[in-house]
Amino acid sequence: MSKPILYWSLFLLIAVSMSAFSFWTTLGSFFYLDDYAFITLARYTDNPWVYFTSSHFPGSYFYRPSVFVLWWLTTRLEFSMTAHLMVNWLLLLSAGGLLTSLLLKLGSRRLIACACGLLFVIHPITVMTAGWLSNRFDLLATVGILLALLGCTGWYRQDATRRTSLLLAGLGTALAVTSKELGYLVPVVVTLLALGYGKGNLLRRLLTAPWLLTLAIACAALGMRLYLLQGAESGLLAVDGAVLQLIRGASNWLQHLPYYVGFSPAQPGWGAGLLALAVLISCVTLAIQLGRQKKPHLSRSHLVSLFSGILIVLLAMLIQTPITSWVTLHAPNTGPFDDTFYYAARFYYLAIAGVLIGLAGLLNLLIEAAPSTSREHTRRHPLGTAALGLLLIVLCGHWALASREQGMILTAFTAADDKRIALAAARAVDNLTEIDSETPCRLYFIGTEQFTDKFWHYSDNTIKALVTNAQAHAISHCLIATERTPWYNIHSASDAEQLQVPRSGPFRPICKDGQPLGLQTVGSALVQYLSFGENGSELVASDGDIVFEYDADSGNFRNITDAVKAGETGVQLLWSRFPANACPM
């Protein structure tokens, strides 16, 4: 076996093994929040390609059809939770492999490129992002971005056939811009590549095939987004108060960047401080080395790597300011599960890749600027080289263990009461045989809030995602709630006639800007935003109502419909919306 093949086989074995070790504890986790909604939408979607030509999540601010196609495929194949997580893990590994390949294309030394790729697939932020199924938007978009940049870099450096490079650039850009808004940074970064590697005047450098191709694809996706989405949400930034939003979001994001990149939950300040100190020492050392040279020379490729990494970090920050301007962020911790922290991890997933790309460029510049006598450091100073290798091993071990710890925290939470109640509700519905598709259907699951405050948010989606596929379609017209209405109910488009509000018992429409929100079309599925009365009310059970109560001792729901109809058991229905959602009388 040749040395290159042996080297890459060893690297692949180490990277996959370390990543599996980091991700293993996450495999015991369960579906959480938005996961149920995506599975339910996929179940009620007949043709996945409608996601590319229709608004696929009413009221949202995104156009991300490629990820919804992936959800549709995994749902059709009836993937288990573990299988879903394995898909996310493979996307994480793919991004790590593409990052390593991109750095090599940018002229990075092999050891530095491999170290960056390894650090990416075990970093707690990237592992946490992959550990929550709903973060597939970031996972798939990052794969697309790195694939596009790999193709464009190959085209400019002429390291492969230009036709193959353009194909990679086009596919990567299309995948990125149809997975998440972060994908729109591709033509901006390609502009830097064109300026760094191109020849001639500014216009001649820009008007190249990769730049024109990535820009055209990004503009086409943005045009479709503007056509399908309405109002401020159609653009990448909100229209009202955009400047203040930009400042507030960027400040919030930057404030926590060192904590998330350094990631040391026990001592978050130490991790951030050591990271900042290492970058500062590297920059000072580079400046000193260059100052000693009569004719300083900096490699174009390493400079492109450095500034590309910085640009990716800045663009990731700016594009996400509509959310980071109001979302709560805080430093990593080892306390009880906090879904805000897991929710925030996605905002730094791509930034971790950008940091590593920039760091690789900086390290390569340091080595290049070192005196010739120091370039053989490995041979002349084996102890120093060993110390650096030990430092890398310690860092990998620290982050791998931190990733496992966060996985255990996630698993302990999602596999507890939330999972038990969700599965118990699904069993209760699977055992129903009296569902009639021709009459209204309303299912109530009461008595859960003392055990979990999350089930009511997604009660409708949770049950329709976990029951058998046949039963999911049998209850597609059913309105499901606890004592509170869920954020939204999802149905099959064929159920429109059954879902008219006058036939929906105590359910009422909510209003936006004083106007009732009607049924929203999502391809061949429907989304409905409802509430109970603003002042609350007592449930008066009628035909079509089935009421379940959670029994903590047995861990099951028992049918109490007859007791409610007879007046023996009362069920108080509660308002669970914002004041602005109340409809005028």
Alpha-carbon gap, residue 436 to 424, rounded angstroms: 22
**Which residues face 543 on adjacent strands?**
none
H helix or E strand, kind and range, residue 276: helix 268-292
Q: Give the pLDDT score at 502.
A: 47
Closest listed residue to residue 165, CA positions, set 149, 141, 188: 149
Alpha-carbon gap, residue 18 to 399, rounded angstroms: 10
pTM exceeds cut of 0.85: yes
Q: Give the pLDDT score at 294.
A: 55
Instruction: Give the number of other Cβ atoms within 10 Å of residue 295's Cβ.
Output: 4
Alpha-carbon gap, residue 546 to 445, rounded angstroms: 9
Instruction: Give the number of other Cβ atoms within 10 Å of residue 86's Cβ.
Output: 14
Host domain of residue 472: 417-581
What angle is formed at CA 208 by the lines to CA 206 and CA 210, rounded to 5 degrees?
Answer: 110
Alpha-carbon gap, residue 67 to 175, rounded angstroms: 9
Alpha-carbon gap, residue 310 to 283, rounded angstroms: 14
- At 123-146, the pLDDT tens digits run 989 998 999 898 999 999 999 999
Are 466 and 422 in contact by the 8 Å Cβ rule? The answer is yes
Closest listed residue to residue 481, CA positions, set 498, 511, 504, 512: 504
Does residue 577 form part of some domain? yes
Contacts of residue 555, defined as CB under 8 A and 6 or more positions apart, other chains included, come to 420, 424
Crossing angle of helices 136-157 and 124-131, in 10° steps, is: 120
Q: Give the pLDDT score at 232.
A: 46
Q: Give the pLDDT score at 251.
A: 82
Backbone angles phi, psi at 556, to 5 degrees: -130, 165
Does residue 141 form part of some domain? no
Tracing tokens 């109001």 back to the chain, one arrives at 326
H helix and E strand count, the chain: 23, 13
Are 26 and 85 in contact by the 8 Å Cβ rule? The answer is yes
Q: Where are the beta strands (DSSP E) in 230-384?
A: none
Alpha-carbon gap, residue 184 to 319, rounded angstroms: 9
Alpha-carbon gap, residue 37 to 208, rounded angstroms: 42
What is the count of structural domains for the chain? Answer: 1
Contacts of residue 412, defined as CB under 8 A and 6 or more positions apart, other chains included, come to 337
Q: Give the pLDDT score at 234.
A: 47
Strand, helix or coil at 491?
Answer: strand
Does residue 551 form part of some domain? yes
Rama region for 505: left / alpha / beta (φ>0; ψ in -120 to 50; rest): left
Contacts of residue 306, defined as CB under 8 A and 6 or more positions apart, other chains included, come to 358, 361, 362, 365
Low-confidence ranges of the chain (pLDDT < 50): 232-234, 239, 373-375, 502
Type of residue at 484 = R
Q: In 158-208, where does DSSP find H-type helix?
A: 162-177, 186-197, 202-206
Does residue 461 form part of some domain? yes
Does residue 516 form part of some domain? yes
Does residue 146 form part of some domain? no
Alpha-carbon gap, residue 308 to 357, rounded angstroms: 7
DSSP assignment of 363-431 equals HHHHHHHS-GGGTTHHHH-HHHHHHHHHHHHHHHHHHHHHHHHHHHHHHHHHTTHHHHHHHHHHHHHHT
Closest listed residue to residue 494, CA positions, set 544, 579, 437: 437
Our CA dihedral for 42, 43, 46, 49, rounded to 10 degrees, sits at 10
Distance of CA 246 to the CA centre of its chain: 21
Closest listed residue to residue 38, CA positions, set 51, 23, 29: 51
Does residue 291 form part of some domain? no
Type of residue at 36 = Y
Strand, helix or coil at 559?
Answer: strand
Q: Give the pLDDT score at 516.
A: 78
Alpha-carbon gap, residue 481 to 459, rounded angstroms: 6
Does residue 491 form part of some domain? yes
Are 315 and 247 in contact by the 8 Å Cβ rule? The answer is no
What angle is formed at CA 275 by the lines to CA 143 and CA 253, rounded to 5 degrees?
Answer: 60
Pairing assessment for the beta strands 442-446 and 545-551 based on DSSP bridges: parallel
Backbone angles phi, psi at 521, to 5 degrees: -90, 135
Q: Give the pLDDT score at 246.
A: 78
Alpha-carbon gap, residue 94 to 144, rounded angstroms: 10
Q: Give the pLDDT score at 373.
A: 44
